[in-house]
Amino acid sequence: MRIAQVMEWNFSEPGGVQSHVMGLCTHLMDSGNYVLVIAKKRVKEGNDYPFSVYYIKPPFHSLSILFPVKSGDISRILRQEKIDLVHIHHIFTPVSISAANAAVKSHIPFVFTNHTIPYLSSKKSLLNLLVIHKNVLNKASKIISVSRSADKILDTLVKDKNKRIVIPNGVDASLFNPGNIKNIPHSICFVGRLVPRKGVQILIEAFFQLKREIKDAKLFIIGDGRYKSHLVSLVKRKKIQDVKFTGYLPPEKITKYYQSCEVVVVPSLERESFGIVALEGMACAKPVIVSDVGGLAEIIENGNDGIVIKRGDTEALSNAILDLFNNPLLSRRMGGNARKKVEKMYDWKPVTKKIIKVYNSLTQ
């Protein structure tokens, strides 16, 4: 099968959608399919990939985030490459509309994957205003959502539930693995963008409380973002010791932090449609503490392979970390269960098989 994967961003911009597309493309190729990627040219693009990548420059390039690429440009690529199916990632971006229109004009079946829960998605009136997206979504052959929470926001936009299916994100369980690194005692790992909704400030407050009980506790904050200066100031203001901001790191180095820490924390406050970081920590056989936001609580079975706490509850988070530090047998059991779950349900191999099954149902 000849498949075009389409996304708003390109691979030089770190993000969950890009990670998803890279993993999916790699495993689709392993299954004998021809794959190419179409992305909007916004920042520096790369070419060192095992598949072709087409970068399309939108009009008014300096304001590219606001403007879609021309559907005709995408149509030409689809015809030139004799594409059998188009898979569009993220439903709330300008390039999504252009790609969907190009597929319709080219008489090629197309699939959406909804990777997100948009801001104020609980407001049905807001979604009813998205007339363009509504029309385009209903022309799709199939719509995949990465979690039940992400699928639920489509209730207002796509009434035909037969068009909708939930298939989770995947993780490379060979890259993210338990390893043989000795644990750093009483260490906590956070990975993600440093923005308010990721809840790092909640984790820092919880860590401040934890240090009263565990003097040698350590917190590693991996990632970057506009909120970093505020978080660094918070740590300094409270005079918290043993907090390390590493900045952005490539996956290979992040894996080492997962492997050496005792607990992974994902304290998001809103709009968490899935939580790839939680999967990565689980794949490394670590107990993961998540907030009860969106798809996070769908991944973790509370008390079995991790812990689910109420969002924004610093005391509950501090206590959950303390319980794991004080119960190493429980921590190891949760980590082992988490790894087994990832291998069975979330490794790219079973996830790709489910997506290929969707493709086959539309092209055969």
Per-residue pLDDT tens over the stretch 273-323? 788 999 999 999 999 999 999 889 999 999 999 999 999 999 999 999 999
Spatial strand order of the sheet with 306-309 comes to 243-247, 218-222, 187-191, 263-266, 288-291, 306-309
The neighbouring-strand residues paired with 266 are: 290
Instruction: Catalogue the E-assigned strands of the chain.
Output: 2-7, 34-40, 52-56, 85-89, 110-114, 142-145, 164-166, 187-191, 218-222, 243-247, 263-266, 288-291, 306-309
Q: Which two tokens stand for residue 221?
A: 């904050």
The angle subtended at Cα 71 by Cα 66 and Cα 72, nearest 5°, is 135
C-alpha to C-alpha distance for 198 and 63, rounded to whole angstroms: 27
219 pLDDT tier (thresholds 50, 70, 90): very high
Cα maximum dimension of the chain: 64
Amino acid letter, 101: N
Q: Which of 29-43, 99-113, 115-129, 148-162 has the lowest mean pLDDT?
A: 115-129
The predicted model scores a pTM of 0.88
User: What 8-state DSSP symbol labels residue 273?
Assistant: S
Tell me the mean pLDDT in the region 178-202: 94
Please tell me the total number of residues recorded for the chain in this structure: 364
- Comparing 87 with 154, the larger pLDDT belongs to 87
* CA-closest candidate to residue 335, choices 259, 235, 250: 259
C-alpha to C-alpha distance for 6 and 110, rounded to whole angstroms: 10
C-alpha to C-alpha distance for 98 and 86, rounded to whole angstroms: 12
Helix H or strand E encompassing 152: helix 148-152
Q: Which two tokens stand for residue 63?
A: 């304001």
**DSSP state string for 321-360:** HHHHHH-HHHHHHHHHHHHHHIIIIIBHHHHHHHHHHHHH
Amino acid letter, 89: H
Taking only the tens place, the pLDDT of each residue in 36-91 is: 999 887 666 666 788 999 988 766 554 545 566 788 899 999 999 999 999 999 88
Taking only the tens place, the pLDDT of each residue in 2-29 is: 999 999 887 877 778 888 999 999 999 9
